[in-house]
C-alpha cells in the first residue's frame, strides 16, 4: 500500500476475491472523508464485489482503467 497525499494506492493484482475487498475495507477504515484509494485488482469477481461493497458502505467507486478502481470515502 502506497500513500500519496490523500490518495492511497492498493495493489491487489493476483489476489482472489474476497481478498481485494477485505484489503480495501482495512485500508479505508482510518482515512478521512474525501480520501481516495486507487485499487488495482484483476480477479473478475472484483467488479461486482466492489460495486456491492460501495452500495453497502455508502462509499463511491468508479472504474478508471482496466482492473483499476477509484474509491472515495464518504
- Render pLDDT for 26-69 as a digit per residue (tens, 0 to 9): 999 989 999 999 999 999 999 999 999 999 999 999 999 999 99
Q: What is the pLDDT confidence band of residue 2, given thresholds at 50, 70 and 90?
A: low
d(CA 55, CA 58): 5
Instruction: Go through the chain and tell me how many residues it has.
Output: 74
Q: What is the pTM of this model?
A: 0.92
Which of 7, 11, 15, 17 is flagged as catalytic? 17
pLDDT of residue 4: 72
Cα 13-17-18 angle, rounded to 5 deg: 125
**Of 71, 70, 47, whose CA–CA distance to 57 is shortest?**
71
12 is an active site residue = no
Give the number of domains in the chain. Answer: 1
Asked if residues 20 and 69 have their Cβ atoms less than 8 Å apart, the reply is no
- Read off the pLDDT of each residue in 10-22 and give the average, rounded to a whole number: 97
Q: What is the pLDDT confidence band of residue 74, given thresholds at 50, 70 and 90?
A: very high
Domain range enclosing 10: 2-72
State the CATH number of the domain containing residue 52. Answer: 3.30.110.40
Amino acid at each position: 500500500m502506497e500513500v500519496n497525499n490523500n490518495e492511497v494506492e492498493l495493489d491487489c493484482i493476483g489476489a482472489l476475491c474476497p481478498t481485494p475487498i477485505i484489503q480495501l475495507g482495512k485500508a479505508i477504515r482510518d482515512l478521512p472523508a474525501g480520501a481516495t484509494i486507487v485499487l488495482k485488482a484483476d480477479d473478475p469477481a472484483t467488479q461486482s464485489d466492489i460495486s456491492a461493497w460501495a452500495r453497502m458502505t455508502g462509499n463511491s467507486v468508479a472504474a478508471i482503467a482496466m482492473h483499476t478502481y477509484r474509491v472515495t470515502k464518504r
